[in-house]
Structure 1
Amino acid sequence: MLRDVDYVLAKLDWMRSERIWPNGLRYLWTDAFGVVLYLSLYRQTGEERWLDAAEELVGEVDRVLGRPRGYRIGEASDRDGQYFHYLAMWLFALARLGDVKPEYRAKGIAVAKAIHPAFVLPGRGVIWKMQEDLRAPYPGYGLGAIDAFDGYVSYRCLDPRALTDEIDEMRTLIERQYRTLDIDQDLGLGMLLWLCHFFPTEDWARVQTERSLAALDRLWIDPPGYYGRASYAPHARIAFANYGVSLGLQAVNQWPERVDRLNTYFDVYRSNDEYDREAITHVMACASHLPGLFLNADNRDRGG
């Protein structure tokens, strides 16, 4: 597991000076990663300022993106609606903050109970995207591929007793799905590996860890050292997606040399589009270099 604190501190300084993050537009996925990143710095350095930064960020997300039930995808005008997998990542961030300050765990439980009935179709699946008021699915969107896994892990990290019914519904969906689930996309595979590492002895996690690693092996482009977007687009490369793969690989303790290679490659690679300056690229780069509290305790305690 990497612990490159110096890289992260330099990247945070640069993002702030460029008004990219955290002083740019709010975006729930990026901000969830940011909360966990701040908490990882707090754990690594012992400096209270990082805990304060995590709490301040939660407050800003509540203020800008918070809705009566759930959270808007992002602050920009075209980031309307709600994604379940973004909400699940936010719940994970609240669970990690709740390890330090229990009131945030209670907050996360309340959010989970508020959003779950809107997104989950028992016995069928989890709706990928809902309208902002959660009254109906967003037009043109169906069920998410790994959203039940997202919810299952985040709910269990929050409180397996308070969310027993919700966890059972997600577990039922996973049991129906995991044997035939084949993901063919870089970020999806990385995040699925990350989800698997929390409960590695469960059947779904064993099957999907093996399957995801095999799929990623087919996407590895060497030289120069990156993961292609999908089998149908092997030469398409996305920095933030590769950083998500890095997180997954570090979670399951696989291919550290590839993690180093992709980090090195994307340090200098430029896509010459908006993602060169998007916060998601750079905050996820920080998580790749300091996975910290994204990982369970056993994995965090490994060397690096």
Structure 2
Amino acid sequence: MTPDDALATSARLMSEFAVRTGLSAPKQRAERYLWTDAFAVCNFIELFRRTRDEKYLRYATDLIDQVHRVLGRYRDDDARRGWISGLDEEAGRSHPTAGGLRIGKPLKERDANEPVDERLEWDRDGQYFHYLTKWMHALCQAALFIGEAAYARWAVELGERAFAGFARGSRSGEVVGLYWKMSTDLSRPLVPAMGAHDALDGFITFRQARHAQMRLGEGAATALSGAIESLSLLCRHRDWTTEDPLSLGGLLFDACRLCRLPGEERSNDADLLEELTSGCSNGLMAFLAGRQLSWPSSQRLAFRELGLAIGLRGLPIIVAAVAQPRSRFEGRPSLRRSLDRLLPHESVSERIVEFWLPRAQHHDASWQEHCNINDVMLATVLAPNMFLLAAGSPGLAKSSRS
């Protein structure tokens, strides 16, 4: 597929998504889902960057507003009303992420006295930490590209609330983990187990948000510092090996961001990047050995494989950052070895696209079951720069119009 074809396909997928979910059809009920919408914001900005078509930038900013207006408030079938944060209408509009953001699942959250049904829990609402960090990433990218400081401020406020709500403390007050899923108002855990990569996502994304806010002339170098320190400790000396394709892609995405973040005193970024690439290398070899990419579509989930494809698109970014003269990652032969093991498999990304693209075009049943998330993540694979790369100098959107 040529770059022009990839861009055109990404644009078609995202335009259909905008109509289908009520973004470009104001009279239609908005269908918002936080994970998918985080990718979508980055995709729309990338489409604007590449085409200079103003409608894509409008879609991105409208989507941010709609997510906050829908997922920052209680559901229609909830007895509670208003902003999750409890702020009044005016304050809530000024601080839409201050209470966190709902997932956007089809069923309302489980009541406090309701027994757990593991199957139903997947379809119940609440808040996920790793969805919140994805949205923080989208806000940071939009903030820097558009030059809108409020987006970066909202990302930091979301990080503050997410950490306060999800952190699990010991009796001594030390943070020993993060809850996987919390109630909408963050008052009680719905799934107490910790996600394997939640602390890593938080550690990197919180630093990204702080950096974005400072680049836009707001915030302080100490913003989120306590949370970042606690999350850093949760990431120490971990084996990040996983055979799950979505998790592998997430690790590569995190590695891609980590190597581009400004270095910080007392940070162990080089050790962490070495551990991440080692885990990705071992995990990818195990995943490929399992031959899951040869299974029929009925036994596979497109969005999980597309997550891996997105992460693999970031490999050249990691390699380039590590190769920079006087990089904080130089003198790490094991890091170089892990990257050398990964690079020959960069083409797995194309293999995944070649398998799923015809199924998307023909509305195959295996695709349609998760149509929105599949379409948006496929669009990201086809035009990944705004999701994977730093957004550049603040206000690029404004300069591109002049």
Rg comparison, structure with higher value: 2
Aligned positions of 1:212-231 closer than 5 A: 212-220=280-288, 226=293
Q: CA deviation at 1:292?
A: 1.3
AA at the equivalent of 1:7? T
Using the alignment, how far apart are the partners of 1:281 and 1:186 within structure 2? Answer: 14
Q: 1:283 aligns with which of 376, 388, 391?
A: 376
Q: Which residue of 1 aligns with 2:189?
A: 137
Using the alignment, how far apart are the partners of 2:282 and 2:384 within structure 1? Answer: 22
Gaps of 5+ in 1: 229-234, 300-304
Q: Which residue of 1 aligns with 2:133?
A: 88
Using the alignment, how far apart are the partners of 1:246 and 1:104 within structure 2? Answer: 28
Q: 1:248 aligns with which of 311, 321, 343?
A: 311
**For residues 59-113 of structure 1, what are the alpha-carbon distances to aligned partners after superposition, in whole Å with 9 as ceiling and x for unaligned?**
1111111031101110522441100000000011111111121111011111211
Q: CA deviation at 1:38?
A: 1.0
Using the alignment, how far apart are the partners of 1:33 and 1:218 within structure 2? Answer: 27
Q: Which residue of 2 aligns with 1:163?
A: 224
Q: Does residue 46 of structure 1 match 2:139? A: no
- Name the Cα RMSD after superposition: 2.8
State the TM-score, normalized to the length of structure 1: 0.85
Q: 1:58 aligns with which of 45, 48, 64?
A: 64
Q: CA deviation at 1:28?
A: 0.4
Using the alignment, how far apart are the partners of 2:56 and 2:15 within structure 1? Answer: 13
**For residues 219-272 of structure 1, what are the alpha-carbon distances to aligned partners after superposition, in whole Å with 9 as ceiling and x for unaligned?**
22798x8387xxxxxx94211111110111111233332111110101124763
Q: 1:117 aligns with which of 164, 182, 188?
A: 164
AA at the equivalent of 1:216? L
Q: CA deviation at 1:188?
A: 0.8
| 8 A Cα contact 2:100 2:127, kept in partner | yes
Q: Does residue 204 of structure 1 match 2:251? A: no
Using the alignment, how far apart are the partners of 1:116 and 1:275 within structure 2? Answer: 35
Using the alignment, how far apart are the partners of 1:94 and 1:63 within structure 2? Answer: 15
Q: Which residue of 2 aligns with 1:105?
A: 152
Greater RCO between the two (CA within 8 Å, min separation 6)?
Answer: 1
Q: 2:353 aligns with which of 263, 288, 291?
A: 263
- Cα 1:56–1:20 change in 2 (3 A) is closer
AA at the equivalent of 1:9? A
Q: Does residue 293 of structure 1 match 2:295? A: no
Using the alignment, how far apart are the partners of 1:211 and 1:148 within structure 2? Answer: 16
Q: 1:173 aligns with which of 234, 248, 258?
A: 234
Q: CA deviation at 1:134?
A: 0.3
| 8 A Cα contact 2:126 2:184, kept in partner | yes
Q: CA deviation at 1:16?
A: 4.6
AA at the equivalent of 1:286? A
State the TM-score, normalized to the length of structure 2: 0.66
- Cα 1:169–1:211 change in 2 (3 A) is same
Q: Figure out how many residues of one structure are paired with residues of the other and give that number.
A: 289
| 8 A Cα contact 1:25 1:75, kept in partner | no
Q: CA deviation at 1:58?
A: 0.9
**Greater Cα offset, 289-298 or 155-164:** 289-298
Using the alignment, how far apart are the partners of 2:294 and 2:271 within structure 1? Answer: 27
Using the alignment, how far apart are the partners of 1:143 and 1:196 within structure 2? Answer: 20
Q: Does residue 193 of structure 1 match 2:252? A: yes
Identity %: 29
- Cα 1:35–1:296 change in 2 (3 A) is same
